Amino acid sequence: QVQLVESGGGVVQPGRSLRLSCAASGFTFSSYGMHWVRQAPGKGLEWVAVIWYDGSNKYYADSVKGRFTISRDNSKNTLYLQMNSLRAEDTAVYYCARPTVDTAMVFAFDIWGQGTMVTVSS
Amino acid sequence: DIQMTQSPSTLSASVGDRVTITCRASQSISSWLAWYQQKPGKAPKLLIYKASSLESGVPSRFSGSGSGTEFTLTISSLQPDDFATYYCQQYNSFITFGQGTRLEIK
């Protein structure tokens, strides 16, 4: 079935780095733009980043620009989020998400992963 | 950046009630709006896309309307499973979510 599975979360000290992964299955991963969305504890949803289906374009929320890098490996059906210079305010559950259509890189999301928790704390 | 404002932030209702949640955009987003339902500890679930299109498998008691800057999500007859938090999302210009509406049992 269509599925996204995140991994790589954990507890990390401020200023350190972490890389999240999102393994896709059940659909043609290389045809879809892919996104990261996060949710701080008890808070709402915040869009983080998008990458085009072929990796040719990447866009970020202002809150993570210059610190986070989204990437993908279509041969491995995997999406990544490299998070550098982490701050306490980056503490959140991180979800990868797929748009409902492969013809639009930015759209509503019909497939979400289960989320992976990132805690930034000393 | 496009800002999305939901109201109310919290809504108390009973099973069988008809409820409406409003979402306003800071500028026109045409019909590029989605609604999600989220339960504690779970990922959001898509309910409505393109303002009024019902996602496959979503009960018909959910409906969406609006265009431009004002949108509504209506649940025609609340069921016990509907008590959750609801988010709107614009995708006219990248992605922005509303702050959420918590629907609780009265």
Interface probe for A, chosen from B32, B95, B102 (most Cβ of A below 10 Å), is: B95
Of B1, B43, B50, nearest to A95 by CB-CB distance is: B43
pLDDT recorded at residue A12: 98
List, for chain B, all residue ranges whose pLDDT scores fall below the cut of 50: none
pLDDT, position A106? 84
3-state secondary structure at position A41: coil
Residue B65: predicted pLDDT? 98
- Average pLDDT score, chain A: 97
Instruction: Show the tokens assigned to B58.
Output: 């979503």
Percent of chain B whose predicted confidence (pLDDT) is above 90? 98
Look up residue A91 and give its amino acid. T
Q: B86 near B73, Cβ under 8 Å?
A: yes
Interface residue B90 vs chain A (CB under 8 A): no
Note the pLDDT tens digit of each residue in B19-29.
999 999 999 99
CB B19 within 8 A of CB B71: no
Q: Model confidence over A65-112: pLDDT tens digits?
A: 999 999 999 999 999 999 999 999 999 999 999 999 888 888 999 999
Beta-bridged to residue B42, according to DSSP, are: none
pLDDT at A103: 82
Exposure string of A84-111, with b = 16+ CB inside 10 Å and e = fewer, is eebeeebbbbbbbbbbbebeebbbbbbb
Q: Tell which residue, B73, B62, B76, has the closest CA to residue B33.
A: B73
Using a CB-CB cut-off of 8 Å, the residues of chain B touching A107 are 49, 91
d(CA B30, CA B76): 24
Q: Is A3 on the interface with B (CB under 8 A)?
A: no
d(CA B80, CA A24): 32
- Strand residues in A64-122 grouped as ranges (E): 68-73, 78-83, 92-99, 109-112, 116-120
Question: Percentage of residues in chain A with pLDDT exceeding 70?
Answer: 100
Sign of the CA dihedral with A33 first, then B23, A68, and A8 last: negative
Integer Cα distance of B97 and A67 in angstroms: 22
Question: Which chain B residues are within 8 Å of A50, Cβ to Cβ?
Answer: 94-95
Let me know how long chain A is. 122
Contact state of B100 with A44 under an 8 Å Cβ cutoff: yes
Contact predicate A37/A97, CB 8 Å: yes
Nearest Cα to Cα of residue A110 among A97, A94, A95, A121: A97
CA dihedral A79, B54, A101, A94 (to 10 degrees): -10
Higher pLDDT, A103 or A42: A42
Residue with tokens 């733009």: A33
